[in-house]
Amino acid sequence: MGAETRARTVNNQGPKLAGPLSRREVLQGAATLGLALSSRVAPAQTGGPVTLNLLLWEHWKVAEGLQKNDPTNVPKRRLWFYETIKRFEADHKDIKLQYQTANWNVATQTFIAASQAGNPPDVVGAQSQDNQPLANAGFVADLGQFKYDEWDDFNQAVLREACSVGGKIVAMPVYLTSTGLGYNKPLLKEAGVTEPPKTWDDAIRVGKALTKDTRGTGRPNQWGFGVELSAASTPNPVSFTMPMIRSLGGAIVDKDGKGLMDTPEHRKIAKLLADMYHDHKILAPESLTMKANDEVDLFGAKSWAMGIVIHALLPPIIEKMGADNFGFAPYPTFPGNEPRSYSEVYGFLISSKAAKDPRKAAAAWELLKEIGATKTLLLAAKYQFGAPSRKSVLADPVYKSDPLLGYLANYTFKTATPFPFIKEVGFYSETFIEALNLIVLQRQPVDETLKRQQARYEARLR
Amino acid sequence: MPPSLQGLEASRPPVAATLASPSGSTGRRAGPGVAMRTLTSDRVLPYFLVGPAVLLVFALTVYPTVYVLATSFTDWNLMRTVTKPVGFRNYVDLAGDELAIRALVNTVLFLVGSLALILVLGLALALALNEPVRFRTFFRSTVVLPWALTAVVVGVMWRWMLIPDIGIVNYMLAGLGINISFFLSPAAALATMVLVEVWRSTGYGMILVLAGLQGIEPSLYEAARIDGAGFWRALRHITLPLLVPTLLVATILLSIRSVNLIDIPLVVTGGGPARMTETLGLYMWKESFSFHHIGYGSAVAIVMFAINLVLTVFYIRSLSRSRR
Rounded CA-CA distance B82/B295 in Å is: 12
Q: B192 to chain A nearest CA, in Å?
A: 13
Task: Look at residue B24 in the predicted model and tell me its pLDDT.
Answer: 43
Contact yes or no for A14 and B32 at CB 8 A = yes
Task: Look at residue B23 in the predicted model and tell me its pLDDT.
Answer: 44
Q: Is A24 exposed, middle or buried (0-12, 13-18, 19+ CB in 10 A)?
A: exposed
User: Do B103 and B36 belong to one domain?
Assistant: no
User: Do B227 and B287 belong to one domain?
Assistant: yes
Burial A301-338 (b: 16+ CB within 10 A, else e): bbbbbbbbbbbbbbbbbbeebeeebbbbbbbbbeeebe
User: Do B174 and B103 belong to one domain?
Assistant: yes
Residues belonging to chain A: 462
Rounded CA-CA distance A377/A158 in Å is: 15
pLDDT band at B40 (very low <50, low <70, confident <90, very high): confident
User: Do B112 and B228 belong to one domain?
Assistant: yes
| Helices and strands (H, E) in chain A, number of each type | 21, 10
Percentage of chain B beyond pLDDT 70 is 90
Closest CA to A432 of A282, A310, A206, A263: A263
User: Do B265 and B118 belong to one domain?
Assistant: yes
Is residue B314, in this structure, part of any structural domain at all? yes
Q: Strand A50-57 and strand A95-102: pairing? A: parallel
Find chain B residues with C-beta within 8 A of A442's C-beta. 274
User: Do B39 and B144 belong to one domain?
Assistant: no
Is residue B312, in this structure, part of any structural domain at all? yes
Task: Look at residue A46 in the predicted model and tell me its pLDDT.
Answer: 56
Which of A113, A233, A434 minimises the CB distance to B274?
A434
For residue B168, the enclosing domain spans 89-323
Using CA coordinates, name the residue in chain B closest to A291: B270
Task: Look at residue B59 in the predicted model and tell me its pLDDT.
Answer: 93
Closest CA to B246 of B219, B204, B213: B213
Task: Look at residue A416 in the predicted model and tell me its pLDDT.
Answer: 66
Residue A40: CB atoms within 10 Å: 8
Q: Which of A16, A215, A238 to mutate to test the interface with B (most CBs of B within 10 A)?
A: A215
Is residue B51, in this structure, part of any structural domain at all? no
Helix (H, G, I), strand (E, B) or coil at A180: strand
- Class for the domain spanning A178-343+421-461: alpha beta
Say which residues have a Cβ less than 8 Å from residue A122's Cβ, sequence separation at least 6: A52, A53, A54, A350, A351, A353, A354, A360, A364
For chain B, positions 15-34, list CB contacts with chain A under 8 A: 31-32
Closest CA to A388 of A346, A450, A337: A346
Which of B80, B181, B292 minimises the CB distance to A426?
B292
Is residue B128, in this structure, part of any structural domain at all? yes
Interval B253-300: pLDDT, tens? 999 999 999 999 999 998 988 899 999 999 999 999 888 899 999 999
User: Do B38 and B93 belong to one domain?
Assistant: no
Contact yes or no for B270 and A234 at CB 8 A = yes
Return the C-alpha torsion angle A347, A351, A357, A358, nearest 10: 20
Interval B104-151: pLDDT, tens? 999 999 999 999 999 999 999 999 998 888 888 898 888 899 999 999
Angle (CA) A40-A45-A46 rounded to 5° is 120
Using CA coordinates, name the residue in chain B closest to A233: B270
User: Do B297 and B190 belong to one domain?
Assistant: yes
Interval B146-182: pLDDT, tens? 999 999 999 999 998 998 777 888 888 877 877 778 8
Task: Look at residue A181 in the predicted model and tell me its pLDDT.
Answer: 95
Q: Could you give the residue range(s) of every CATH 3.40.190.10 domain in chain A?
A: 50-177+344-418, 178-343+421-461
CA A170 to chain CA mean position, Å: 16
Find chain A residues with C-beta within 8 A of B35's C-beta. 10, 14, 17-18
User: Do B176 and B297 belong to one domain?
Assistant: yes
Rounded CA-CA distance A409/A314 in Å is: 13
Residues of chain A with pLDDT under 50: 1-19, 21-24, 26-27, 30, 38-45
Q: Strand A168-169 and strand A172-184: pairing? A: unpaired
Query: Total structural domains in chain B?
Result: 2
Which of A109, A217, A231 minimises the CB distance to B78?
A109
User: Do B13 and B97 belong to one domain?
Assistant: no
Closest CA to A292 of A333, A236, A371, A252: A236
What ipTM score was computed for the predicted complex, to two decimals?
Answer: 0.73
Main-chain phi, psi angles of A456, to 5 degrees: -65, -40
CATH topology of domain A50-177+344-418: D-Maltodextrin-Binding Protein; domain 2 (3.40.190)
Q: Which CATH number does the domain housing residue B135 bear?
A: 1.10.3720.10
CA A268 to chain CA mean position, Å: 27
More confident residue, B26 or A52: A52
DSSP B149-162: S-HHHHHHHHHHHH
Interval A133-153: pLDDT, tens? 888 888 999 999 999 999 999
Task: Look at residue A233 in the predicted model and tell me its pLDDT.
Answer: 85
Using CA coordinates, name the residue in chain B closest to A107: B289
DSSP A387-429: BPSBHHHHTSTHHHHSHHHHHHHHHHHHHEEEPPP-TTHHHHH
Name the pTM for this structure: 0.77
Q: Is B36 an 8 Å CB contact of chain A?
A: yes
Find chain A residues with C-beta within 8 A of B173's C-beta. 217
Interval A221-280: pLDDT, tens? 899 999 999 988 888 899 999 999 999 999 999 988 899 999 999 999 999 999 999 999
Q: Directed axis angle between helix B98-129 and helix B136-148, to 10°?
A: 170
